[in-house]
Amino acid sequence: MATEERKQELIKGLYDSVVNMDEDTARELSQAVLDEGIDAYEAVTQGLTVAMDRVGELYANFEYFVPQLLLCADALYAGLQVLRPHVRLGERGAARQIVIGTVEGDIHDIGKNLVKIMFEAAGWIVHDLGRDVQLQRFVEEQKRTQSEVVALSALMTTSMMAMPRVIEMIKAENPAVAIMVGGAPLSRDIARSYGADGYADNAGEAVREAVRMLDELKNK
């Protein structure tokens, strides 16, 4: 059994491996966590997830860009692949769920993929519909999965015009669903005018915004 000092050393190493984009080290240290009897859940939540929060801050502050964010995600997933099977079900709790996709007529998905990474890092179950998604599919997938949040992405002004319609369709089926929009042509004011509950300017903000929306809807 590892000492507390050794445990903190490994957790700090996991954190550094993600922030420093070191996939091999993330995998090796995750295995060391298991070999030395350290709790996998602690390693994930205190090491890997906290690291991805930091990566999100670096991205939001323009210190990291898309290539760095994707490499950090590779390191994150390398660690998660080793540790996740050893996280006890009771510790995971009831994971929150989100449906995400780029709206019909838009084939751009880099931003959407980055948001997906941040939600997965935070422990959410992500139902990714991909790009150029027909409006009805958002409604159907939310209904099928009973996801608390739906996130709509658009990079073009022409495709973002579909957002008010899909928001209306989802809310008609389930008014309690929190809907977030994001993408270059959007703003918080536009999101509000479309009937969305929230808006994320970048991937680093997306999870915090989703939690804020859910808290706000719960308190209504």
pLDDT tens digits along 132-158: 999 999 999 999 999 999 999 998 899
The answer, as to whether pTM is greater than 0.85, is no
The three-state secondary structure class of 151 is strand
Residue 145 lies in domain: 94-218
Q: How many domains does the chain have?
A: 2
Domain end, chosen from 72, 91, 110, is at 91
For residue range 97-121, what is the model confidence (pLDDT) as tens digits? 999 999 999 998 888 888 888 888 7
CATH of the domain at 8: 1.10.1240.10
Domain end, chosen from 61, 91, 121, is at 91
> Count of CB atoms within 10 A of residue 67's CB?
9
Position 88 scores a pLDDT of 66
Beta pairing partners, 21: none
For residues 109 and 125, give the distance between their C-alpha atoms in angstroms, rounded to a whole number: 19
Domain end, chosen from 54, 73, 91, is at 91
